[in-house]
């Protein structure tokens, strides 16, 4: 499974308790691509796992709040 799809499923599970229904995130694919790139950069820079997970959760909340892709970046 590709990392972006996996990230989407984690988000759907966390906010909608259903990782199979992608309807709630239609139109947000680019948001998840950007978030995945941010998380990969942090991992490459040897950021602690706790900090990476915190950034993931912040990114998830921003997506849930429907921020623009530009604001997410």
Residue for token pair 């604001």: 71
CA atoms of 33 and 38, how far apart (whole Å) = 9
Mean pLDDT on 56-69: 93
Boundaries of every domain in the chain? 3-19+27-72
Residue 71 has pLDDT above 90, yes or no: no
Please give the model's pTM, rounded to 2 decimal places. 0.89
Model confidence over 2-57: pLDDT tens digits? 999 999 999 999 999 999 999 999 999 999 999 999 999 999 998 999 999 999 99
Residue for token pair 């040897």: 46
CA atoms of 40 and 20, how far apart (whole Å) = 24
Residue 72 has pLDDT above 80, yes or no: no
CA atoms of 70 and 31, how far apart (whole Å) = 9
Tokens encoding 71:
């604001």
Residue 73 has pLDDT above 90, yes or no: no
């Amino acid at each position: 499974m590709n990392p972006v799809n996996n990230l989407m499923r984690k988000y759907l599970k966390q906010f909608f308790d259903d990782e199979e229904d992608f309807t709630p995130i239609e139109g947000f694919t680019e948001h998840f691509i950007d978030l995945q790139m941010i998380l990969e950069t942090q991992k490459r820079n040897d950021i602690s796992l706790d900090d990476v997970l915190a950034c993931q959760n912040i990114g998830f909340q921003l997506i849930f709040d429907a921020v623009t892709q530009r604001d997410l970046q």
